[in-house]
């Protein structure tokens, strides 16, 4: 099957007329792809207008597709008079929930770009979708025209001056992105030059080799016949066979350990707070409404309210770094900060899954109110149990949910079939779409347990019911004074974040039997 690629700017009026920039020229998208002007030459409208690249969700048609100096300009119309879903999409655009465009295409001619991505010079344009987050950050809905007002507006309450100001800001952002790309290209060239051991083919390394390197090269060529100046420059080793040690150098390349994260932050509900904690009111029951006659006495309702509090917990550490290392390897401090960010990300992701509360965020696996579905066997997963787990969820939550399991468990599920011999797992048939199990998306979470006796290897949930609160992004403080007498610099790092389940009914776990 040919791969369909999804990339992507938009405006809509009350009658459904839509305008936008489907692909900006001159900058790369989020994965590094650049589409050149002329690549859309073969595009011929009309083209289908989809909602979020769902081929079963056609909401309109694109009547005009034009390449300009800025990019691919498109005009179309939502079929608001004939398709109910088109009216929903129009409302979402007015509300600001859908702000971007994304193109679905098949690449015919491309070349790899340095640093990742491709330069695409020829493609077949298949469809253009209205989306919440486009593949290209510059691809957005440009304006919306209200039929009664006769002027552009991004929402039902917006005004033309607001749109103009927004477009100016987006233009400034675009210029900033171009500036960053130029800076990145320059840094790439400098790094490549620094990594060349003997300079390039055109003129050699413009940095003069150190005295020690010259002396060591002479030693390799002449042995003990080197001159006195070279001998002074070298360090005599303590090896009983004599000889000289090669002068050490610090490479610009850093060998990093693999860090795997549970991706729950990408699926949970995340909010920023300014207080130490946030309190969410909860309702524990319904009112007691009864069918009554005209003069029959009414009954009171016993309904109670409670609250759930999520506190921002603190994650902190410090690292001591040699001043000499920082002088010899300027990238060392940056690498330490990166290592801290990776460590903090891994620790918080693990806590969101298995955190016990107290000093940690409360992980969803530790919530006592989450219901269970029994697998019926200690080590063999049951296809019937997965079906029962899915349909044990209330329909409202089931239709918004997704599976979660680790890679080992996913490997087992991929081999499972239902009673009719059909695989439970289905691959994604379109780029950017998730794999599915029993028709619902699946998320790989490395912190969930393997299939074993008494474990809970699989969870199905509406993940928006897990709330993450960010009080403070990772903060680093460089302290060059405390350890100055030891020739060290201390780097402190702190992060404040909390997490917890807001509604246990949106989660359900599969429990393996105890052998």
* 509 three-state secondary structure: strand
Distances (CA, A) of 243 to 220, 221, 226: 10, 13, 12
Task: Give the Cβ contact number of residue 508 at 10 Å.
Answer: 23
* 419 three-state secondary structure: coil
pLDDT digits (tens, 9 = 90+) for 8-46: 445 555 677 888 888 888 888 777 788 888 888 888 888
| Residue with token string 């059909």 | 422
pLDDT at residue 256 in the model:
52
Residue-by-residue DSSP string for 444-471: E-TTSPPS-TT---EEEE-GGGEEEEEE
Distance of alpha carbon 486 from alpha carbon 323, whole angstroms: 9
Q: What percent of the chain has pLDDT over 70?
A: 70
Distance of alpha carbon 323 from alpha carbon 335, whole angstroms: 14
C-alpha closest to that of 445 among 341, 342, 343, 353: 353
- The answer to whether residue 433 scores a pLDDT higher than 60 is yes
Lowest-confidence segment of 5-14, 82-91, 163-172, 177-186 by average pLDDT? 5-14
Q: Residues 368, 411: contact at Cβ < 8 Å?
A: no
Half-sphere exposure of 284 (CA within 13 A, CB side): 8
Question: Average pLDDT of 338-362?
Answer: 87
- The answer to whether residue 257 scores a pLDDT higher than 60 is no
pLDDT digits (tens, 9 = 90+) for 459-470: 999 999 999 988
Half-sphere exposure of 95 (CA within 13 A, CB side): 9
pLDDT at residue 204 in the model:
45
Distance of alpha carbon 23 from alpha carbon 74, whole angstroms: 9
C-alpha closest to that of 325 among 239, 249, 272: 249
Model confidence band, residue 346 (pLDDT cutoffs 50, 70, 90)? confident
pLDDT at residue 53 in the model:
82
Contacts of 464 (CB under 8 A, 6+ apart): 267, 268, 269, 400, 506
Angle at 236 between CA 230 and CA 240, to 5 degrees: 140
| Alpha-carbon radius of gyration of the chain | 30
Phi, psi of 95 (to 5 degrees): -80, -10
pLDDT digits (tens, 9 = 90+) for 367-426: 998 999 999 898 899 989 999 999 999 888 888 899 999 999 999 998 888 777 788 888
Distance of alpha carbon 166 from alpha carbon 290, whole angstroms: 53
pLDDT digits (tens, 9 = 90+) for 206-215: 456 666 667 6
Q: Residues 80, 88: contact at Cβ < 8 Å?
A: no
Phi, psi of 257 (to 5 degrees): -75, 150
Ordered structural domains, the chain, with CATH: 5-177 (3.20.16), 261-284+304-515 (3.30.2400.10)
pLDDT digits (tens, 9 = 90+) for 39-72: 888 888 888 888 888 888 888 888 888 888 888 8
- The answer to whether residue 241 scores a pLDDT higher than 50 is no
Distance of alpha carbon 512 from alpha carbon 515, whole angstroms: 9
Lowest-confidence segment of 205-219, 254-268, 423-437, 477-491 by average pLDDT? 205-219
pLDDT at residue 403 in the model:
93
Q: Strand 402-405 vs strand 458-461: parallel, antiparallel, or unpaired?
A: antiparallel
Q: Output 510 or 480, whichever has higher pLDDT.
A: 510
- The answer to whether residue 219 scores a pLDDT higher than 80 is no
pTM confidence score: 0.49
Q: Looking at the chain, how many residues does it have?
A: 515
């Amino acid at each position: 099957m040919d791969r369909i690629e999804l990339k992507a700017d938009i405006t809509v009026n009350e009658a459904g007329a839509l305008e936008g920039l489907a692909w900006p020229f001159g900058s790369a998208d989020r994965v590094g792809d650049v589409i050149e002007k002329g690549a859309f030459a073969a595009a011929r409208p009309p083209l289908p207008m989809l909602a979020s690249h769902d081929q079963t969700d056609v909401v309109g048609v694109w009547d005009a597709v034009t390449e300009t100096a800025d990019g691919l300009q498109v005009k179309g119309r939502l079929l608001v008079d004939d398709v109910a879903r088109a009216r929903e999409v129009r409302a979402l655009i007015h509300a600001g929930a859908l702000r971007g465009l994304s193109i679905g295409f098949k690449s015919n001619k491309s070349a790899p770009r340095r640093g990742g991505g491709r330069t695409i010079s020829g493609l077949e344009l298949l469809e253009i979708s209205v989306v919440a987050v486009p593949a290209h950050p510059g691809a957005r809905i440009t304006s919306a025209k209200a039929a009664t007002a006769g002027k552009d507006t991004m929402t039902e309450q917006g005004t033309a001056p607001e749109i103009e100001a927004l477009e100016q800001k987006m233009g400034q952002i675009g210029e900033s992105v171009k500036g960053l790309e130029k800076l990145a290209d320059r840094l790439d060239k400098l790094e490549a030059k620094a990594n060349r051991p003997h300079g390039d083919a055109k003129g050699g390394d413009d940095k003069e080799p150190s005295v020690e390197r010259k002396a060591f090269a002479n030693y390799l060529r002449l042995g003990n016949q080197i001159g006195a100046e070279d001998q002074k420059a070298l360090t005599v080793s303590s090896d009983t066979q004599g000889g000289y040690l090669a002068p050490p150098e610090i490479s610009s390349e850093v060998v990093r350990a693999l860090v795997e994260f549970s991706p729950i932050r990408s699926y949970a509900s995340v909010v920023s707070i300014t207080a130490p904690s946030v309190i969410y009111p909860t309702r524990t029951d319904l009112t007691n409404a009864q069918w009554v006659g005209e003069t029959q006495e009414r009954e009171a309702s016993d309904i109670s309210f409670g609250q759930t509090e999520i506190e921002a917990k603190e994650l902190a550490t410090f690292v001591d770094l040699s001043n000499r290392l920082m002088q010899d390897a300027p990238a060392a401090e940056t690498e330490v900060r990166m290592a801290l960010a990776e460590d903090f990300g891994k620790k918080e992701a693990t806590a969101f899954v298995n955190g016990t509360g107290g000093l940690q965020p409360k992980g969803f696996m530790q919530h006592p109110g989450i219901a269970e579905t029994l697998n019926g066997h200690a080590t063999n997963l049951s296809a019937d149990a997965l079906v029962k787990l899915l349909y044990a969820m209330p329909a409202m939550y089931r239709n918004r949910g997704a599976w979660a399991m680790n890679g080992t468990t996913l490997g087992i599920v991929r081999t499972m079939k239902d009673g009719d011999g059909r695989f439970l797992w289905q691959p994604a048939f379109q780029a950017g779409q998730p794999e599915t199990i029993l028709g619902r998306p699946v998320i790989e979470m490395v912190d969930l347990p393997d299939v074993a006796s008494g474990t809970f290897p699989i969870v199905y949930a509406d993940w928006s019911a897990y709330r993450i609160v960010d009080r403070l992004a990772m903060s680093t403080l460089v302290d060059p004074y405390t350890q100055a007498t030891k020739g060290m610099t201390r780097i402190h790092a702190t992060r404040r974040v909390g997490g917890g389940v807001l509604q246990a009914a949106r989660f359900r776990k599969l429990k393996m039997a105890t052998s």
